[in-house]
Amino acid sequence: MPTAPPPSAPSATALAPPLWATAGFSFESPSEAARRAARPRVADFYTRYGNPTVQAFADAVAELEGAEAALCSASGMGAVSTVVLGLCSAGDHIVTQRQLFSATKQLFESVCPRFGIEVSFVDAADTAAWREAIEPGRTTLVFAESPANPTLELVDLAALGSIPGVVTAVDSTLATPLSQRPLDAGIDLVIHSATKALSGHNDATLGVIAGEKSLVNELWQYGVIHGAAASPHDSLNASRGLKTLPLRFARQAQTALAVAVTLSEHRRVDRVYHPCLPGGGQQELACRQLRAGCGLVAFEVTGGLDPALAFLDRLTIPLLAPSLGGPETLVNHPASMTHASLSPDQRAAAGVTDGLIRLSAGLEETAAVVADVDRALS
């Protein structure tokens, strides 16, 4: 019976990783199939279990994060859900922050209680509150998002990583491994929505979890059941995106900070959110924790909803879209877009006002983006 070539068959000299566009693999014998099926994160058995193209991207992220292993998922929320539901059971307790991406917030507020998992919320920047919320013997997971989406609050990762007796996980999507490596601060797991800056071209939907091998293998066992398998096609696009990540992120961080500085002095802006903004409140932590800055800026337009929507209408360079981290500068009105599914009280707890705008810097000329934002406000 003919069999598929092994995943190692493609030439090691190929400049781009090969695409393994297959749902599964064939075997010479039942014993061979059994051996592969029993191997954690197996890449040549069935693509729900793993795939060589998917694993190539996961391995690249693990290297960037300084991790022993990494695991891909079908989306950023697939990765978040795998961590939360793969580690926690009925009766367990989670500590997380109030300032969260909308879908993550819904997972903690709506889904976890259905499974008997209790969640406590603290302010992201209140280091003492994280420790005070821990219930020894019951708290299983401490979950942070830093910088937070969309208001960019930072969590002190070193303080979080020093908490004993729990698994600590950080969604580091907005920083990328170029700006911060949570595992270096003692964090157990780092999560990315690779849909964003890691893939960087708005053509992949993907999530990734990186950390200690034994912990990643445990999550893989749950992930196979959960079924949020990563696409080989999206993984190939993401691997391509990693090649230009340093160049892209440098320009995006430069533009975002320039916009933040301009907005901080604008009479039609009430507040600017950028962790590296001088006088912004978290600059000392940002200098210590974010090596390469951040490619986003958020700000509150004076007057609330109507002036904010009018500002969006007057922009000519940024595109109105819910994503971030791509080559185009994108703007998002969280209250009516990414956080629209939340109640007004939930949005308020996350710091999302009607006048809040989030800007994800792209690759356009920095001065042109700054001028366009200033013109649209003025």
Domain boundary among 191, 210, 240: 240
- Please tell me the distance from the alpha carbon of residue 282 to that of residue 279, in angstroms, as a whole number: 8
Domain boundary among 181, 211, 240: 240
Helix (H/G/I), strand (E/B), else coil: 33: helix
List pLDDT tens digits, range 196-228: 999 999 999 999 999 999 999 999 999 999 999
**Residue 19 domain flag:** no
**Residue 181 domain flag:** yes
Range of the domain at 280: 245-377
Helix (H/G/I), strand (E/B), else coil: 37: helix
- Please tell me the distance from the alpha carbon of residue 343 to that of residue 358, in angstroms, as a whole number: 19
- Residue 278: C-alpha distances to residues 257, 258, 295, 296 (Å): 10, 12, 16, 15
**Residue 34 domain flag:** yes
**Amino acid in the structure at residue 352:** V
Lowest mean pLDDT among 95-109, 134-148, 244-258, 343-357: 343-357
Q: Which two structure tokens, joined as six digits, stand for 68?
A: 């022993």
- Higher-confidence residue of 356 and 16: namely 356
Q: Which two structure tokens, joined as six digits, stand for 132?
A: 């005070």
The per-residue pLDDT for 2 is 40
Task: Work out how many domains the chain is built from and give that number.
Answer: 2
147 cis-preceded (ω within 30 degrees of 0): yes
Based on the fold, state whether residues 233 and 90 are members of the same structural domain: yes
The C-alpha R_g of the chain, in whole angstroms, comes to: 21
List pLDDT tens digits, range 143-172: 999 999 999 999 999 999 999 999 999 999
Based on the fold, state whether residues 262 and 130 are members of the same structural domain: no
* Strand arrangement of the beta sheet that strand 269-273 belongs to: 269-273, 296-301, 356-360, 330-332, 319-320
Diameter of the chain measured on Cα atoms: 74
- Please tell me the distance from the alpha carbon of residue 363 to that of residue 372, in angstroms, as a whole number: 14
Q: What is the 3 state secondary structure string of 240-293?
A: HHHHHHHHHHHHHHHHHHHHHHHHHCCCCEEEEECCCCCCCCCHHHHHHHCCCC
Q: Which two structure tokens, joined as six digits, stand for 187?
A: 């964090």
Percent residues over pLDDT 70 in the chain: 97
Based on the fold, state whether residues 127 and 142 are members of the same structural domain: yes
Domain harbouring 224, CATH code: 3.40.640.10
Based on the fold, state whether residues 66 and 213 are members of the same structural domain: yes
**DSSP string of 154-210, one letter each residue:** ---HHHHHT-TTSEEEEE-TTTHHHH--GGGGT-SEEEEETTTTTT-SS----EEEE
Residue 279 banded pLDDT, cuts 50, 70, 90: confident
Based on the fold, state whether residues 271 and 211 are members of the same structural domain: no
Helices 232-264 and 366-377 meet at what angle, rounded to 10?
60
- Please tell me the distance from the alpha carbon of residue 62 to that of residue 6, in angstroms, as a whole number: 23
Exposure string (b/e) for 345-359, b if CB count within 10 Å is 16 or more? ebbebbbbbbbbbbb
Q: Of 3-17, 23-37, 175-189, which one has max mean pLDDT? A: 175-189
Residue 4 banded pLDDT, cuts 50, 70, 90: very low
Based on the fold, state whether residues 300 and 174 are members of the same structural domain: no
Q: Any residues with CB less than 8 A from the CB of 138 and at least 6 apart, and which?
A: 91, 92, 93
**Amino acid in the structure at residue 247:** L
**Residue 16 domain flag:** no
Based on the fold, state whether residues 50 and 95 are members of the same structural domain: yes
